[in-house]
Structure 1
Amino acid sequence: MHHLLRQSSRQIPRPLHLTRSITTLVHQPHRPSLPSPTPNHSHPTTLPSQSHPSSPPATPQRTISFLARLFGSFSGPSPEQKMAAKQKAQSIIDKGGVAVFSKSYCPYCKATKELLSRVGAKYEVLELDQIDDGAAIQDALQEITNQRSVPNIFIAKEHIGGNSDIQALGEGKLKSKLTSAGAL
């Protein structure tokens, strides 16, 4: 088996930067670049190496652990987090005023907030990109409203929709809804 590995490394030489493990690269403090050593071409399987005494040796377990931590955050909220997020979203909606579930960088969310401010409405904004459970709340809103996009707007517990929906109401109808909700 060892002979096969050596043979394959002769066929496809790997550059130096690919021979170090991902954990070594991640755990290394920034160091100034050193001139690259000249490779030893006399023996195709010999590659120059750099010594990193402060780095623990890379093992498959360390690499798997690192990748699990890295990609574990993409696995989504737990069932408990989903339930808590749904309860939080529903409690905000149930207050009965005006609720805007938003993201701070979204131009449509900004347009909605500008419209509500221009007509003098009192409203609650939850910036989903600025809170830890924002993604879970957005998932919960999709379950509640069948709308995943933001802004996700409620007036007096009624789902209005998004920015285009609130803009389409026109100021007259919007002010009427806001007055009924006690938001003007």
Structure 2
Amino acid sequence: MMIEIYGKTFCPYCDKAKALCEREGFEYSYKELDKDFTREEFFNIFPTARTFPQIKIDGNDIGGYTELEAWWQNKE
């Protein structure tokens, strides 16, 4: 299982997503806006997204932090 978090600086929900992954021992990668991808690339990957972070699990878009937390709770 691989989790990809697309975030930006000064984003508390991005920090919460990373913390959840670290706490639970999930392998993840963190990509930051304007460092690892542009805004245009972000909207090409997530055309309907309007918030940060946006998260993929095994290549599937799941949404943001709330959806990551729900996925984790259903996984247990």
**Short-chain TM bin:** 0.7 to 0.9
Q: How many residues align?
A: 76
Counterpart position of 1:162: 64
**What's the counterpart of residue 17 of structure 2?**
112
- The code of the aligned residue for 1:139 comes to F
Q: Could you say which structure has the higher strand fraction? A: 2
Q: Superposition pairs for residues 128-143 of structure 1, below 5 Å?
A: 128-129=33-34, 131=35, 133-143=37-47
Verify: 1:99 aligned to 2:12, yes or no: no
For the 8 Å contact 1:138–1:148, the answer to whether it is kept is no
Shift of 1:132: 7.0
Gaps of 5+ in 1: 1-95, 176-184
Higher relative contact order (CA 8 A, sep 6+): 2
Structure 2, unmatched stretches of 5+, are none
Distance 2:63 2:2 in 1: 15
**Structure 1 position 171, deviation (Å):** 3.9
Cα distance, 1:159 vs. partner? 1.2
CA RMSD of aligned residues (A): 2.1
Structure with greater proportional helix content: 1
The list of structure 1 runs, each at least 4 consecutive aligned residues, that deviate by more than 4 angstroms after superposition, is none
Q: Is the 8 A contact 2:31 2:37 kept in 1?
A: no
Larger Rg: 1
Task: Give the secondary structure class of the aligned counterpart of 1:153.
Answer: strand
What SS does the aligned partner of 2:46 have? helix
